[in-house]
Amino acid sequence: MLRVGIAGAGFMGEVHAEAYKRISGAEIFAIAETNEDKRTGFVQKFKPRKAFSTVEEMVQDKEIDLVDICLPTPLHSNAAISALEQNKHVLLEKPIALTVAEALQIKEAAQKSEGKFMVAHVLRFWPEYELIKSLLSGDKIGKIREIYAARFNELPLWSEGTWLMNEELSGGLAIDLMIHDIDFLVWNFGRVTDVMATAIKNEQDFSLQAIAAVKFEGGETANIEGAYLNPSGRGLTTEFKAYGERGLLELYPNMNDLKVTMAKAQEEHFKIPSGDGYYNEIAYFVTCVSEDKTPDIITVDEAIESLKVALAIRESVAQRKWLAL
Ligand SMILES: NC(=O)c1ccc[n+]([C@@H]2O[C@H](COP(=O)([O-])OP(=O)(O)OC[C@H]3O[C@@H](n4cnc5c(N)ncnc54)[C@H](O)[C@@H]3O)[C@@H](O)[C@H]2O)c1
């Protein structure tokens, strides 16, 4: 039984804990959370055997096998590196880090460690996105001309001390939210060569909406949109469209509909397999650790590539021009 220590009992810490409860090969052994009320609430709900007030203390615990990092993004690199130095297995929430330099330090620590390492880019584990990938790589709609991928959320006021509303801490819209679609497209189409993006900002210079045109090495192009404009109570909504030479693929997950429209408006609806991306992602990492396999659905280099694209989008907004990667 793998002994898991979760770092951070915030929004994602609870999502991950709910997944571990359903995974037979792992137990929620410890929690590290600085906020006392949240730590107490987590202990009452998930009954870990140990509770720490900081991740720094938790990574020293000899009994923990796997450290699952659900901390604010500026803490990712220190927490991941110190856990890897203790030869723990590390599952790290996205984005890998706020800068490429930090991400490369994590990569180096992962290479030296006996622990396995994976960045939790969850779209690669949601059944509807796995289905899209199989349809696109299976040539269902022919060569891809254009993608539109959008992700709209409410203002991220839920984060501890509203750190997500501070672009210095969260990286902002591209690095925190749009990176989901960026990473999904990197998974499908590989390296990005050029980006051009614009954004709408509020009085505090916080991007509320951004749209990025992205070109891939294989010639595909995508428009990736992200926004914190959904009214409160609406939650997260997403859209995905792929225009191919032979047809159009459309996904509206909130409507549970994945449709392909071919010539002469012939429609085919695909059943989206049931399943929870967070559970699938965490169960996959636990299996990799238990069976001593290197996680390869998402590699550290791909997580770094996704971060580079997100950073280039933010930079393109600032410089108001196309940037080559
Ligand atoms: N994959 C997804 O769908 C998804 C969704 C939301 C957030 N995220 C990512 O998950 C991470 C966490 O985001 P969140 O929304 O859960 O934030 P959050 O603010 O809700 O939770 C973070 C928690 O970490 C705690 N913390 C801070 N410093 C600590 C320390 N040194 N030791 C122990 N605990 C500490 C905070 O008190 C807080 O409770 C971020 O990197 C974010 O980008 C991923």
Predicted confidence (pLDDT) at residue 4 exceeds the cutoff of 80: yes
Instruction: Clarify whether residues 83 and 130 are in a common domain.
Output: no
Return the residue whose CA atom lies nearest to atom 25 of ligand 1: 8
Please count the structural domains in the chain: 2
Distance (angstroms) between ligand 1 centre and the Cα of 70 equals 5
What are the beta bridge partners of residue 232? Answer: none
In a domain, 19, yes or no: yes
**Distance from the first to the final alpha carbon of the chain:** 43
Phi, psi of 21 (to 5 degrees): -60, -30
In a domain, 316, yes or no: yes
Final residue of a structural domain among 101, 120, 139:
120
What are the beta bridge partners of residue 198? Answer: 211
In a domain, 286, yes or no: no
If one residue of 15, 34, 92 were mutated to test the ligand 1 pocket, choosing by the most ligand atoms within 8 A of its CB, it would be: 34
- pLDDT for 301 equals 98
pLDDT in tens, 235-250: 999 999 999 999 999 9
- Ligand 1 within 6 A of CB of 35: yes
In a domain, 301, yes or no: no
Instruction: Clarify whether residues 186 and 247 are in a common domain.
Output: yes
Task: Give the type of residue at 305.
Answer: E
- pLDDT for 255 equals 72
User: 205: pLDDT confidence band, cut at 50, 70 and 90?
Assistant: confident
- Ligand 1 within 6 A of CB of 122: yes
pLDDT in tens, 81-115: 999 999 999 999 999 999 999 999 999 999 999 99
Instruction: Clarify whether residues 267 and 244 are in a common domain.
Output: yes
Distance (angstroms) between ligand 1 centre and the Cα of 11 equals 6
Instruction: Clarify whether residues 99 and 215 are in a common domain.
Output: no
- Ligand 1 within 6 A of CB of 10: yes
- Ligand 1 within 6 A of CB of 70: yes
In a domain, 290, yes or no: no
Host H or E run for residue 15: helix 11-21
- pLDDT for 158 equals 84
Predicted confidence (pLDDT) at residue 264 exceeds the cutoff of 90: no
Neighbours of 248 (CB within 10 A): 15
Instruction: Clarify whether residues 134 and 270 are in a common domain.
Output: yes
In a domain, 235, yes or no: yes
- pLDDT for 108 equals 98
Instruction: Clarify whether residues 208 and 223 are in a common domain.
Output: yes
Instruction: Clarify whether residues 108 and 135 are in a common domain.
Output: no
- pLDDT for 64 equals 98
Share of the chain above pLDDT 70, in %: 100
- Ligand 1 within 6 A of CB of 5: no
Host H or E run for residue 238: strand 237-244
What are the beta bridge partners of residue 223? Answer: 148, 213
Q: Which domain holds residue 21?
A: 2-120
- What number is the average pLDDT over the span 258-277? 91
Instruction: Clarify whether residues 257 and 131 are in a common domain.
Output: yes
Predicted confidence (pLDDT) at residue 253 exceeds the cutoff of 90: no
What integer best gives the mean pLDDT of the chain?
96
- pLDDT for 97 equals 98
Instruction: Clarify whether residues 312 and 165 are in a common domain.
Output: yes
